[in-house]
Structure 1
C-alpha cells in the first residue's frame, strides 16, 4: 500500500517528536520557566520546580521628534478693526443685480397686490356670469329638445302606484332652478307645507271648540272649507308661479306671484286676528275660548301662534322674492310681452279667436246684403 500513498516513509530520526529543532530550541532557552523543565516523576532529583521568571517586554522605541523647520513664515496683515467693520458693512449692504431688479418699496407692493386682487375678482364675476348664461342656454336647449308636444313625466304629488289619480306636475328644484335661487324656492316649498299643516291644525282646534261649544258649528264648517280650498289653491296660485318664474326667468309669473301672494298674506293676517265666526282660531277666538275651557283655549292659542308665525314669514318671503326679482332684470313690459305671446300661442285661444272672427265676418257680409 505504500506505493499508492504520497506520503514518505517515516525515518528513525522522526520517531521522537521532541527532537524537533523548534522544540529543542524553545526548551533550551533558560529564560522560560515552564513545566517542561520539571519532571515530578524523576527519582534522581527531588527539588521544587524553578521559580517563574516573567519575561521583560521590550521597551518601546523612543519617539522621534520632528525636525524643527527653520524656514521663516511671513506674517499676515489682516487689517485693523475699523477696516474689518467697513468690509462687513459693505458686504451686508450688497444686493445682487437680480434682487435689485425685483425690489420695490412697500407701498408699490401693496398697490400691486390690491390691483391683482381686484382683477381676479372681476374675472371671477365674469366667469360666474358666463356660467349662468350657459346654464340658461342649456335649459332652453333641453326645453326645445323636448318639443312642443312632449313633456317630462309628472312626479308631484308623489302618489303610490295603486292610486287611480296620477301626479299633476313635474318638479325638480335641483334640475330646473338655478343654483343661486334653489334655496329661495326650497324655502317657499316648505313654507307652503307649513301653511297646509297650520290649516289642518286649525281644523283640529275648531273641532275641539265645537265639542265644548255646540254653537261653534259654523266655525268648524268654515275651517273645513279653508283647509280644502287654500291647500291646493295656494300651491297652484302662488307656489307654481314663483317656481316657474325662477325656472325660466318669467316676468309674467313674477307678477302673478306678487299679486296672489300679497292677497294671501293679507288673509293670513286676518287668520291671526281670529274674527269670531270666520273659522280661524286666532287670538280673539282663542282668548274668548280660554275663559270657558282651558284645554281647548290652550290648543287654540297654539294655533294663533302658528298663524302669527305664518303671517310674519309670509311678509319676509315676499320681500325676499321681490329683491331677487329686481336682480333678474324682469319688468312689466316683459310681462306684457310674455302674456301676449302665451295667449296667442294657446291653441284654444287661437281657435276661439278664429271662430269669433269668422262669425263677425259672416254677420257683416249678411248685413251688407
Structure 2
C-alpha cells in the first residue's frame, strides 16, 4: 500500500503517462478499448473481449436526381413584357416631345403676337419681304409674317396662296425656257420668246401685289374691300391662265396648241413644251379650287359689300394725297368762280 500512498517529491519530474499500469495497458492491444468495455456488466467474468477492428459502414449508393426535360427553345422570362413596356414608354416619350414642341411653337407665336400688338396700330414694322441680301441696294418692300398677322384658322389658306403664287412664278420661268428652246430651233419664233420674257417680268410682281397682298390683308384685318379686290383680280388672272393653257401661237405661251405643233418638228423641244402645258393646266385647275376655297371662307367672315364701300370711303378720305388733291381742286374752283366776270 505504501507504494500507492506515497506521493512523489515535488522535485521529482514525474510523468503520469509513464506509469507502468498505463504503459502496460497501452502496449497490450489484445483488449478492447474503454469505449467498448463496460465495467458494470456482471454477466461476463474475466477480462474484456479482444478488440476487433470493425469496417466502416458502406454508404448507400447516391441516387441521381431525375433528369428534367428542357424545352428545345430557351425561355426568356419577362422578355415579352419588358419589350412591350419599353415600346410603350418610347411611344409615350415621343408623344410628349411632340406636344412640347407644339406648345413651344404656340408660345413663340403668342409672344410674337404680343410684340406686334405692343407696337400699336400706328407703329411701323421693319419690312422683311422680299428677303434680299444686305449688300443689295434695294431693301424689302413689305412686312409679311403669316404666323403673327394672320389668325390661326386662316393661316393654312394664306400659306397655300403664297405657295400657289410661287408655283405660278416658277411656271412662267419654265415657260421662258420652253420658248427659248423653240427659238433656238426655229428663229421665226422670236416674238413668242420676247413676250415670254415680258410675261415673267410683268406677271410675277403684279400677281403678288394685285391678288396675293389683297388676300393677305383681307384675312389679316377682315377687310371686305381687299376681299373684293382679290376676287376681281384673281378671276381675271384665271382667265389668263386658261389662255396660257390653250397656247395661242405667237403669244409667248407654251400651251397645248403650240406644244403639239412643236412636237412634229422637234420631239425634244415638243416634250419640254408639253410639260409646260401640263403645268399651265395644273395652274388653272388649282386656281379654280383656291378661288372657291377663299370664297367659302369669305362667307364665314363678317365681310360684305356694304363694309367694302365703307372701307373704300374711309380709306379715300383718310388718304393724305387724296385730301390734298381735293383741297387744291376746291381752292382752284373757288378762285375761278371769284375771278369770273359778273
1:294 aligns with 2:267: yes
Q: Is the 8 A contact 2:146 2:155 kept in 1?
A: yes
What is the Cα deviation at residue 263 of structure 1?
0.3
Q: What is aligned with 1:165?
A: 138
Aligned runs of 1:309-320 on 2, under 5 Å?
Answer: 309-320=282-293
CA distance in 2, matches of 1:307, 1:349: 40
TM alignment of 1:255-270, pairs within 5 A: 255-270=228-243
Distance 2:321 2:16 in 1: 140
- Structure 2 counterpart of 1:275, from 248, 264, 275: 248
| Residues in 1 aligned to 2:16 and 2:226: alpha-carbon distance in whole angstroms | 129
Q: Pick the aligned partner of 1:146 from 112, 120, 134.
A: 120
Contact 1:252 1:334 in 2 (8 A): yes
Counterparts of 1:17 and 1:263, CA distance in 2: 140
Distance in 1 between the 2:338 and 2:50 partners? 170
Structure 2 residue ranges without an equivalent (≥5) = 1-9, 18-32, 40-45, 53-109
Provide the rounded CA distance (Å) in 2 between the counterparts of 1:231 and 1:49: 134
- Aligned counterpart, 2:220: 247
Asked if 2 retains the 8 angstrom alpha-carbon contact of 1:269 and 1:308, the reply is yes
CA contact (8 A) 2:37 2:48 kept: no
Q: How far, CA to CA, are the matches of 1:147 and 1:332 in structure 2?
A: 25
- Unaligned runs of 5+ residues in structure 1 are 1-10, 19-31, 39-45, 53-134
Report the counterpart of residue 86 of structure 1 in structure 2.
none
Judging changes above 3 Å, is the alpha-carbon distance between structure 1 residues 266 and 283 closer, same or farther for their aligned structure 2 residues?
Answer: same
In structure 2, what is the Cα distance between the partners aligned to 1:161 and 1:145?
25
Q: Say yes or no: does 1:211 pair with 2:184.
A: yes
TM-score between both structures, scaled by the size of structure 2: 0.68
Distance 1:355 1:143 in 2: 37
| Structure 1 residue 146 displacement after superposition | 3.3
| Superposition deviation, residue 162 in structure 1 | 0.6
Distance 1:35 1:144 in 2: 115
Q: Any idea what the Cα deviations from partners look like across 1:218-276, whole Å, max 9, x if unmatched?
A: 10011011010000000000000000001111000000000000000110000000001
1:335 matches 2:308: yes
Q: Give the whole-Å Cα distance in 2 for the aligned partners of 1:143 and 1:218.
A: 52
* Aligned mates of 2:115, 2:130 — CA distance in 1: 27
Q: Is the 8 A contact 2:113 2:148 kept in 1?
A: no
> In structure 1, the residue corresponding to 2:131 is in which secondary structure?
coil
**2: CA distance, partners of 1:235 / 1:255:** 16
The answer for the alignment partner of 1:199 in structure 2 is: 172
Contact 2:128–2:143 (Cα < 8 Å) also in 1? yes
* Aligned residue-pair number: 260
TM-score normalized by structure 1? 0.64
Distance, in Å, in 2 between the alignment partners of 1:244 and 1:303 is 32
- Cα distance in 2 for residues equivalent to 1:217 and 1:268: 22
1:183-237 CA-partner distances (Å, limit 9, x unpaired): 1000100000000000000000000001111110110011011010000000000
2:113 and 2:132 mapped to 1: Cα distance?
Answer: 27
